[in-house]
Chain A
Amino acid sequence: MRFYLLATMLAALIGVASVALGEYWLNVVVIFLINVMMLIGFRLVTLMGGWSFAHVAFMGLGAYTTAILTTMDAPWSFWVTIPLAVLISGAVAFLVGLAVLRTRHYYFFLSSLAAGEALRQCFAQLDWITGGTYGISFIPRPSPVFGLVFNDTRNFLWLVLAFVLAVAFFARWFDSSEAGRRIRAIAINEDLSASIGINTWAHRVLAFVVGSAVAGIAGVFFASFNKIVNPLDFSSVYMFRIVAAAIVGGVTTFFGPLLGLLYLTAVEELFRGIPEYVPLIWGFSVIGVLLLLPGGLETVFTGEWSAGMRSRFARLFRMTRGAHDAGR
């Protein structure tokens, strides 16, 4: 119920925003929504208990799929590139997953980081198809649908919103499906899950592939909206933003990553006059959340934060009293 309320609210807010906001803020909202899609995919990956640092590279795969196909001499339709981006991102994620999903914990983080960097190097080095470090420019916006022209930022915003909602509903369904429940069980205790007959590796691959395919869709919209793709767009700095949003917001609920992203976007916009301090603020935010709100901002809304704080204070009180008693 809460999920549907959230989805309706998001749609309503964007609806108001699309009428009330000026061109610049419409641009900000579009990028925000593309990042929301990225985070939905990232959250799906985190379901299996690992935080993939290759996620942004799969977004790049989706972006390059659209960029290459829509700028060819005989250009493909934007709409055809969406399923293709899903297939390509998913297929490459499967191949990458064959290797990196055999690792756990720090090793998974490092191997996914290396895989992401390898993919980004492909974008830079395969210049005969990707344009190399020049990237690909002048990517067209989607062709009109029912008279809606997507060169208009307002219309593009509605299009992205529709896909964000579709992806969110799919993620919600996946989350509550049997496969989703098994994946969460694997994240909690992989050995126990395996002992009751769950194919843990296959389920981990499934989460990785599905989440990465969603990142591919985000890439499609990213390429079409910015009209340019470049290897630098999919750097580890961008990946850090996504991870930071997930840490700051939390990943157990759907609105957690959204909160984190909202916070980081607000920081970026509020402090844009002093951009050199923005990474510092992000860094402090991440550390602050890890220390004070270990589950992210979402715990403030779910009530876990106050319960956690109470227990922390109680522990502190007991320790203080213990020390005091020992002193006597």
Chain B
Amino acid sequence: MSAHRFSISASTALAACLLAAPAVAETVRIGVLQPQAGDCAQWGIPISRGVTMWAEEVNARGGVELADGTKEQVEVKTYDNVCYAPGDELKAARRAVLDDGVDYIVQTYTPAARQAIADLTNEQKAVSLSYGAGFLSGDYPYMFGALTGSPTSYMLVADRIIEAHPEARRIAIISADNSFAKSSKAYIEAGIAAHGDAVEIVYNESYSAEAAGDMLSLLSPLVEAQPDIILEAGFVPSQQAQMVEILDQLGFQGYFGSEAWNLNFMTERLGAERIAGRLYSGYALDASEGSLNERAAAFYDKYVEKYGEKEWSVFASIGYATAATLEAGLKLSRSASAEDFVAAVHASPTLDHPLFGKSTWAGEDIFGINNHLYTPLPIYNVGADGKISLDGVVDVSAWWQENKPRALPVLEQQNQIYK
């Protein structure tokens, strides 16, 4: 009887589910929700490695320190979110929080993906830390922007390029047609708005993921607009390299801005001399440029030792720096519970960050809650040797206070205000 045989199979499957009870451990559990395969893994794997290496470093010191001086070991697990799709983000977060008992999530700044897990953070009292903000809200106190990462950094990179090159007045924006790139585009426009009528946006188009496969067709209309500065959001690192190469071939001699560049790809394809002084970026921190912080520089050395220089990506620094924010917050907290962590960081308007020093909790103007840590933002360029070089450091709180009247209406117009 087929139904009988089917019932035996189904009962066995159910029994397997019943036996798979969640494990209980005595450590601080961190779940990193990042793409682990496909194109987007070019972001996800280095970020995951950054958090994991931070945990190894902290565990080697006896664990992460709490306010009373006690230390707890840290356990990091990665969860595939495919490519920051909200449904997959939620699935990954459910696995992390509901099944594995994760207390702290490290996730993207992509607004839709953050919104997807917002209710879960409240219901399960799980902290979500992002290497940027994207989406925060007074209704979701467990969600934090752990750094001045994207999309905020796009605003500051755009501002810096314009300021550094008074002769470059024509700006092009090219962005992917997805949640995180749209959000980044809004912040780029806010950064440009800080310069009022002094500059002109001559091209501002979005592309679908499929269109990125035909880079020449995608970029030809952009070049026809004759920009001096090109700001991009949404290409994966290998596509960025392709973009710069094609634009170079099409005769573009101006400047580029993005959250980060993979200089290994760039120098391989173009050579150092073609990119020196032209590629601006700013995404929390690039540990390969060691002048800002010794600990970050040591992390870079360890990363290169472990994975090799070719495997280096600035995104590893982002993961490491985000985890360092958790470290600083737990140092104020009386226990490693998410509730105590939130209470501790909300009790102080600043945080003494291990990599950036004293940083201010901000975000009220945009999100209605000061859950975004404004860490000073290093802006990078490329040196003559093709290596990353520090262009300057932006005091983000001061910048925002000065430019808010022009930047905020743009963000509002682009639906980036979540108050």
Instruction: Name A17's closest neighbour in chain B (CB-CB).
Output: B14
- Within 279-305 of A, Cβ neighbours of B (below 8 Å) are at 279, 300-303
Residues 241-272 of chain A, each 1 if its beta carbon lies under 8 Å from chain B, else 0: 00000000000000100010010001000001
CA distance A28 to B90 in the complex (A): 12
CA A275 to CA B87, docked complex, whole Å: 16
Stretch at the interface among A80-88, A101-109, A186-194, A223-231: A223-231
> What 0/1 readout, one digit per residue, does chain A (88-123) give for beta carbons within 8 Å of chain B?
000000000000000000000000000000000000
**Is B395 interfacial (CB 8 A cutoff)?**
no
Q: In the complex, are the beta carbons of A134 and B11 less than 8 A apart?
A: no
Chain A contacts of B208 at CB under 8 A? 124
Known: A25-B20, A226-B90. A134 touches B10 (CB 8 A): no
Given the complex of chains A and B, what is the CA–CA distance between A20 and B178 in angstroms? 40
Instruction: Specify which chain A residues have a CB less than 8 angstroms from the CB of B22 in the assembled complex.
Output: 22, 24
Asked whether, in the complex, the Cβ of B95 is within 8 Å of the Cβ of A132, the reply is: no
User: For the complex, would chain A's binding face be called helix, strand, loop or mixed by DSSP majority?
Assistant: helix
Q: Check if A276 is an interface residue, CB within 8 A of chain B.
A: yes
Separation of A5 and B36 alpha carbons in the complex (Å): 42
B6 touches A276 (CB 8 A): no
Q: Which of chain B's residues have a CB closer than 8 A to the CB of A275?
A: 36-37, 80
Interface size class on chain A is: 35 or more
B:30-45 near A, CB below 8 Å = 36-37, 41
Across the interface, do A255 and B6 meet the contact criterion of CB distance under 8 Å? yes
Residues of chain B within 8 A (CB-CB) of A16 are 14
Q: Contact between B10 and A9 (Cβ–Cβ < 8 Å)? A: yes
Within 8 A of A (CB), among B11-27: 11, 13-14, 16-18, 20-22
Q: A52 → chain B, closest Cβ, in Å?
A: 21
Rounded to whole angstroms, the CA-CA distance of A133 and B7 in the bound complex is: 42
| Minimum CB distance partner of A237 in chain B | B82
Q: Decide: A230 and B98 in contact? CB cutoff 8 A.
A: no
Name A133's contact: one of B21, B95, B178 (CB within 8 Å). B178
Whether, in the assembled complex, B116 has its beta carbon less than 8 Å from a beta carbon of chain A, the answer is yes
Give the residue of B9, B10, B95 whose beta carbon is less than 8 angstroms from that of A24: B95
Residues of B within 8 A of A230 (CB): 85-87, 112, 116, 179
Do A22 and B98 have beta carbons less than 8 Å apart? yes
The verdict on A41 contacting chain B, using a C-beta distance below 8 Å, is: no
A133 CA / B209 CA spacing, docked (Å): 12
Q: Are B6 and A20 in contact (CB under 8 A)?
A: no
Interface residue A324 (Cβ < 8 Å from any Cβ of B): no
Inter-subunit contact B177/A2 (CB<8 Å): no
Q: Is A27 an interface residue (CB 8 A)?
A: yes
Q: For the complex, what is the distance from the CA of A27 to the CA of B112, rounded to whole Å?
A: 20
Asked if residues B13 and A262 are in contact (CB atoms below 8 Å), the reply is: yes
Contact status A232-B6, CB under 8 Å: no
Q: Which of A9, A132, A226 contacts B7 (CB 8 A)?
A: A9
Q: Does B179 lie within 8 Å of A27, measured CB to CB?
A: no
Q: Assess the A259–B111 pair: CB atoms within 8 A.
A: no
> Chain A 185-206 against B: per-residue CB contact (8 Å), 1 yes, 0 no?
0000000000000000000000
Q: Which of A6, A21, A22, A272 contacts B95 (CB 8 A)?
A: A272
Taking a contact as CB atoms under 8 Å apart, the answer to whether A21 and B17 are in contact is yes
Complexed CA–CA distance, A235 and B115 (Å): 20
Chain B residues contacting A227 (CB-CB under 8 Å) are 116, 119
Q: Contacts A27-B98, A301-B2, A302-B2 known; A133 to B14 CB distance under 8 Å?
A: no
Residue of B nearest to A303 (CB): B2
CB of A49 within 8 Å of the partner chain: no
CB contact list, B72-112 vs A, under 8 A:
79-80, 82-83, 85-88, 90-91, 94-95, 98-99, 111-112
A134 touches B95 (CB 8 A): no
In the bound complex, do residue B95 and residue A259 qualify as a contact, i.e. CB atoms below 8 Å apart?
no
Known: A133-B177, A133-B182, A302-B2. A232 touches B37 (CB 8 A): no
Measured between beta carbons, the chain B residues less than 8 angstroms from A2 are 2-3
B306 CB–A CB distance under 8 Å: no
CA distance A272 to B14 in the complex (A): 18
Per the bound structure, the CA–CA distance linking A232 and B91 in Å amounts to 14
When distances are taken between beta carbons in the complex, the residues of chain A under 8 Å from B18 are 20-21
Q: Mark A19-44, 1 if CB is under 8 A from B, else 0.
A: 01111110110010000000000000
The yes or no answer to B310 lying at the interface (CB within 8 A) is no
Chain B residue at smallest Cβ distance from A301: B2
Q: Which residue of B lies closest to A132 (CB)?
A: B182
The answer to whether A137 and B112 touch (CB under 8 A), given A5-B3, A276-B36, is yes
Contact B98 A232, beta carbon cutoff 8 Å: no
Given contacts A133-B177, A233-B87, A259-B6, contact A25 B17 (CB under 8 A): yes
Q: How far is the CB of A11 from chain B (nearest CB, A)?
A: 12
Asked if residues B6 and A301 are in contact (CB atoms below 8 Å), the reply is yes
The reply to whether A24 and B112 form a contact with Cβ atoms under 8 Å apart is no
Of the residues B9, B13, B85, B99, contact of A233 by C-beta under 8 Å: B85
Q: Assess the B115–A138 pair: CB atoms within 8 A.
A: yes
Chain A residues whose C-beta falls within 8 Å of the C-beta of B99 in the assembled complex:
22, 24-25
Q: Tell me, rounded to whole Å, the shortest Cβ–Cβ distance linking B182 to chain A.
A: 6
User: Which residues of A sit under 8 angstroms from B116, Cβ to Cβ?
Assistant: 137, 226-228, 230
Q: Given A24-B22, A226-B90, A228-B116, verify A266-B2 contact (CB < 8 Å).
A: no
Q: Which of B79, B85, B119 contacts A232 (CB 8 A)?
A: B85
Residues of B within 8 A of A272 (CB): 79-80, 95
Instruction: Determine the chain A residues whose CB is within 8 A of the CB of B41 once the complex forms.
Output: 276
With a cutoff of 8 Å between Cβ atoms, the chain B residues found around residue A232 in the complex are: 83, 85-88, 178
A228, B90: Cβ atoms closer than 8 Å:
yes
Q: List 15 A-B contacts (CB under 8 A).
A: A2-B2, A9-B3, A9-B10, A20-B18, A22-B22, A22-B98, A22-B99, A24-B22, A133-B112, A134-B179, A137-B118, A230-B112, A232-B87, A255-B2, A255-B6
Known: A6-B6, A135-B86. 5 other contacts (CB 8 A): A25-B99, A28-B17, A266-B16, A275-B37, A302-B2
Q: Interface of B with A (CB < 8 Å)?
A: 2-3, 5-7, 9-11, 13-14, 16-18, 20-22, 36-37, 41, 79-80, 82-83, 85-88, 90-91, 94-95, 98-99, 111-112, 115-116, 118-119, 177-179, 182, 208, 415
